[in-house]
Amino acid sequence: MTTILFSIFLALALLLTALFSVQNATLVTLRWLVWQSIPLPVGWVLTLGFALGLVTGALVWVQQRQGPPPE
């Protein structure tokens, strides 16, 4: 039952993300110190940030599950 609910939630989140990306096609440029990105749509920037957060969170989670290195 939980896998069905998770699948429905994931599909809804992807649908909302796609809808948001289509409606927000305004180009934005990210700036940090002297670095400047190419102009990207807002939806792409948010999706890339979300994906980066997922990958980072997964790496931290895997590291915590492994525990400290043996001595």
Report pLDDT for 64. Answer: 83
Domains of the chain by residue range: 2-66
Report pLDDT for 69. Answer: 67
Residue 45's nearest CA partner among 57, 33, 32, 62 is 32
Residues 6+ apart with CB under 8 A from 31: 37
The residue whose two tokens read 């807002």 is 42
Other residues' Cβ atoms within 10 Å of the Cβ of residue 40: 16
Which pLDDT tens digits describe the chain residue by residue (71 residues)? Answer: 788 888 898 889 888 877 887 787 888 888 988 889 889 888 888 878 888 988 998 899 888 887 666 66
